[in-house]
Amino acid sequence: MCGITGFLFSPGQALVEVAETRLGDMMTAIAHRGPDSQGHWVDAGSGVALGHLRLAIVDLSPAGHQPMPSASGRFEVVFNGEIYNHHKLRRELEEAGHAPVWRGTSDTEVMMAGFEVWGVEETLARLEGMFAIALWDRETRTLKLVRDRLGEKPLYYGWQGKGRDAVFLFGSELKALQAHPAFDARIRRDAIVAMLRHGHVPEDLVIYEGLRKLRPGEIAEISLEAPEPKRKLYWDGGAIAAAPRGPAPSDEDAIERLNSLLLDAVSQEMMSDVPLGAFLSGGIDSSVVVGLMQHLSKKPVHTFSIGFHEARYNEAQYAKEVADHLGTHHTELYVSDTDLRDVIPRLPHMYDEPFADSSQIPTFLVAEMAREHVTVALSGDGGDELFCGYDRYVHGQKMMDKLRGLPGPLRSLGGAAIRAIPETWLNKVMEPIRATPQGKEPNGQRLHRLANYAMSTSTEELHQKMVSVWRFPEDAVLGGSSPPSILADHLPPRGNLSDMERMMQLDMLAYLPDDILCKVDRATMAVALESRAPLLDHRVAEFIWALPERFKYRDGKSKWLLRQVLYKYVPAALIERPKMGFEVPIGLWLRGGLRDWAQALLDPDRLRREGYLDEAVITRLWSQHLVGSHNWGAQLWNVLMFQAWLETYGDVTPA
């Protein structure tokens, strides 16, 4: 696990010393990603500079140092991630007589040998791992940028500057690009709209004009002669999910096949020359990963959990029960509201793009705790999106079943009628019947939200509403409009997917990489901890998508097939309970300990001066939240994370 960065520039534009200085500044900006060593390579004659920050995990010797040339010298690479099957690929090269004289045992060297023997795309098809790659080809004078299939590792890129001063920048985090003098910090208003809607800047958008994120499974090729990046998918998750299915296996065969795949994935991802452990929440996903790890390990696996003193948020006791059953070496950290709130000032710099999933806070704390003991931690990320773990999948399918039985005009009329009733009036009428739980949305607000769902005309429209924090974020952004989205405008093929599976497919392509994996990458790399997710092995994803829905949801239970594998290692009695997750009581905090902080960021004069957000809209939500007529905690948190990010990154020019 590392950080990579670099740039293309007009040959002769800068002396080698100048290019090295600029590259050094970019590397320093993301030094936290690779504290063990760093390296750079500049070819001023070709106009390319590559930088690498190393967190040494495999082959700790200098033989694993990057940038690394291929054996023939044709390729130069900087690479962030791990190739878990590199031992197998090494043997394939050796048995075929195509292996170079090995310099060491690193996965990078094997990957480079594959590029020379099999070609880039054929090698990518063989790789099992997580990665972001920048590969310079001396022969064609082109730069290839590559991201792993499910999007575990990030890569930002884009042209900045004009004319002969234009440079093509790339890096693991935006901080690296910002450190180059050509960087032009112009904020995209449509990216703000998207961020308010989802809590993150989605898909290939970046908060700044002129920059992009590489999408999962994507490869982009750039050269000074052909500056517009040529982008294509070498692995298309949407098409794989929608592909026609063959005959379904028996339950027993499916269980054994998944168990075998996960054993292999976990075994590969336990590859490490440094201390290794796992995050354990006590839920299905992390428990199956830890159960498999302990089955494969001859000594207790080191596991880590975070606990809360508030019982309704706390899963630590369940994690401890699982750890005790498996016999792991378990460490837990109980945190208070104060501990959680103390992380907030660090978030804007940690994420360097506005990001507002509040579970980023406990995720960072558990990563920080784990880093005191290990350098690598396995997680259960991906289980919800691949195995039908979110309640919205079940609720959405049931709602669509009901809506299809009603004429469209009747749905629209009924939804509009409910939304025409003031929420405050609905609160008064409904409160004696259904009391609002502490910290949750009042009844009127909830009914308006459900009425909005009921007006949906398709699964895709309903899903977008269910994953949207703001219903109409355009209203809050001055001059803002919603950008095109994979959730609404360039939808992937659906095939014969059920409503439930369609929502899973969309989450795998959008919510998983843009929220969950972004959150984990930044939180772990902020403390130089490598996180690995065995459930996101692409072989697992391809297998589960080839199975009918009944293997994901059956008898009123989600993750049916994954549960059957888990029960081989952990008794059902330790797992069967309602899903909790890393929930943080943002709404309550904003009325309490965070009120002064929020008030300063939401000051109307400040909003008018900055010129991005409509102070009337924001002030109305803030006032309603404080008096308790509404719970706008999630919506305001998105606004506050944008405001805190804006404050951190200074005076930037609106686009």
What is the residue whose two structure tokens read 């075998």? 260
Q: Are residues 197 and 241 in the same domain?
A: no
What is the residue whose two structure tokens read 């974020």? 473
Q: Are residues 468 and 601 in the same domain?
A: no
Distance of alpha carbon 9 from alpha carbon 143, whole angstroms: 12
Distance of alpha carbon 241 from alpha carbon 245, whole angstroms: 10
470 CB neighbour count, 10 Å cutoff: 21
Among 583, 600, 632, give the residue marking a domain's end. 583
Distance of alpha carbon 274 from alpha carbon 277, whole angstroms: 10
Number of H helices, E strands in the chain: 29, 21
| In the predicted structure, residue 294 carries a pLDDT above the cut 70 | yes
Q: Are residues 244 and 306 in the same domain?
A: yes
Distance of alpha carbon 84 from alpha carbon 271, whole angstroms: 7
Instruction: Report the DSSP pairing between strands 129-137 and 142-147.
Output: antiparallel
Distance of alpha carbon 246 from alpha carbon 556, whole angstroms: 25
Choice between 338 and 90, residue whose per-residue pLDDT is larger: 90
pLDDT of residue 299: 95
pLDDT of residue 625: 94
Q: Which residues contact 161 (CB under 8 A, 6 or more apart)?
A: 167, 182, 184
| In the predicted structure, residue 651 carries a pLDDT above the cut 60 | no
Report residue 450 as tokens: 């459900």
Binding residues for L-glutamine: 107
Total-model pTM: 0.94
Please say whether the beta carbons of 368 and 346 come within 8 A: no
Least confident of 380-394, 448-462, 523-537, 624-638: 448-462
Provide the residue type at 549 as one letter. E
Distance of alpha carbon 229 from alpha carbon 219, whole angstroms: 9
Q: pLDDT digits over 583-628, tens only?
A: 678 888 899 989 999 999 999 999 999 999 999 999 999 999 999 8
Where does residue 523 fall: left (phi above 0), alpha (psi -120 to 50 degrees), or beta otherwise? alpha
Q: Are residues 335 and 285 in the same domain?
A: yes
Among 176, 206, 235, give the residue marking a domain's end. 235
Q: Are residues 603 and 632 in the same domain?
A: yes
| In the predicted structure, residue 122 carries a pLDDT above the cut 60 | yes
Query: Cα 471 to the chain's mean position, in Å?
Result: 22
Instruction: Report the DSSP pairing between strands 276-279 and 302-308.
Output: parallel
Report residue 193 as tokens: 């709209």
pLDDT of residue 435: 62
Q: Are residues 541 and 635 in the same domain?
A: no
Please say whether the beta carbons of 378 and 276 come within 8 A: yes
- Would you please indicate which residues are annotated as catalytic (active-site) residues? 2
Report residue 458 as tokens: 């398709």
Share of the chain above pLDDT 90, in %: 77
Q: How many domains does the chain have?
A: 3
Q: pLDDT digits over 481-506, tens only?
A: 999 999 999 999 999 999 999 999 99
Nearest to 70 by CA among 88, 95, 93, 38: 93
Cβ burial 632-649 (10 Å sphere, 16+ → b, else e): bbbbbbbbbbbbbbbeeb
Q: What is the mean pLDDT of residues 643-655?
A: 74
| In the predicted structure, residue 430 carries a pLDDT above the cut 80 | no
Nearest to 127 by CA among 87, 83, 94: 83
Please say whether the beta carbons of 642 and 478 come within 8 A: no
pLDDT of residue 410: 72
Residue 415's pLDDT band, with cuts at 50, 70 and 90, is low
Bond from prior residue into 249 cis (ω within 30 degrees of 0):
no
Q: Are residues 94 and 10 in the same domain?
A: yes
62 CB neighbour count, 10 Å cutoff: 10
Distance of alpha carbon 153 from alpha carbon 531, whole angstroms: 10
Spatial strand order of the sheet with 230-233 comes to 68-69, 75-83, 129-137, 142-147, 218-222, 230-233
pLDDT of residue 655: 45
Residue 322's pLDDT band, with cuts at 50, 70 and 90, is very high
| In the predicted structure, residue 654 carries a pLDDT above the cut 70 | no
Please say whether the beta carbons of 472 and 197 come within 8 A: no
Q: What is the mean pLDDT of residues 194-201?
A: 97
Please say whether the beta carbons of 406 and 595 come within 8 A: no
Q: What is the mean pLDDT of residues 543-558?
A: 96
Tell me, what CATH number does 344's domain have?
3.40.50.620
Q: pLDDT digits over 369-386, tens only?
A: 999 999 999 999 999 999
Tell me, what CATH number does 91's domain have?
3.60.20.10
Nearest to 505 by CA among 492, 522, 515: 492
Please give the residue range of the domain that contains residue 312. Answer: 236-583
Q: Are residues 229 and 295 in the same domain?
A: no
Q: What is the mean pLDDT of residues 461-468?
A: 96
Choice between 11 and 386, residue whose per-residue pLDDT is larger: 386
Q: What is the mean pLDDT of residues 232-239?
A: 98
- Positive or negative, the Cα torsion across 461, 464, 469, 470? negative
In whole numbers, what is the pLDDT of the chain averaged over residues? 92
Please say whether the beta carbons of 509 and 216 come within 8 A: yes
Among 583, 612, 638, give the residue marking a domain's end. 583
Q: Are residues 572 and 595 in the same domain?
A: no
Q: What secondary structure letter does DSSP report for 344? A: G
Q: Are residues 556 and 566 in the same domain?
A: yes
pLDDT of residue 436: 64
Q: What is the mean pLDDT of residues 169-198?
A: 96
pLDDT of residue 347: 95
Distance of alpha carbon 506 from alpha carbon 397, whole angstroms: 14
Q: What is the mean pLDDT of residues 305-325?
A: 84
Distance of alpha carbon 213 from alpha carbon 544, whole angstroms: 27
Q: Are residues 555 and 606 in the same domain?
A: no
Cα-based distances in Å from 294 to 517, 633, 655: 24, 40, 52
Residue 265 is inside which H or E element, if any? helix 251-269
CA torsion 583-588-594-598 (nearest 10°) is: 100
Report residue 120 as tokens: 């880039």
Choice between 56 and 502, residue whose per-residue pLDDT is larger: 502
Q: Are residues 170 and 219 in the same domain?
A: yes
| In the predicted structure, residue 6 carries a pLDDT above the cut 60 | yes
pLDDT of residue 54: 87
Binding residues: 107, 306, 379-380
Provide the residue type at 422 as one letter. P
Least confident of 189-193, 342-346, 421-425, 433-437: 433-437
pLDDT of residue 626: 95
| In the predicted structure, residue 129 carries a pLDDT above the cut 80 | yes
Residue 466 is inside which H or E element, if any? helix 459-466
Binding residues for ATP: 306, 379-380
Alpha helices, DSSP H only, in 1-132? 16-29, 86-95, 107-118, 120-126
Where does residue 405 fall: left (phi above 0), alpha (psi -120 to 50 degrees), or beta otherwise? alpha
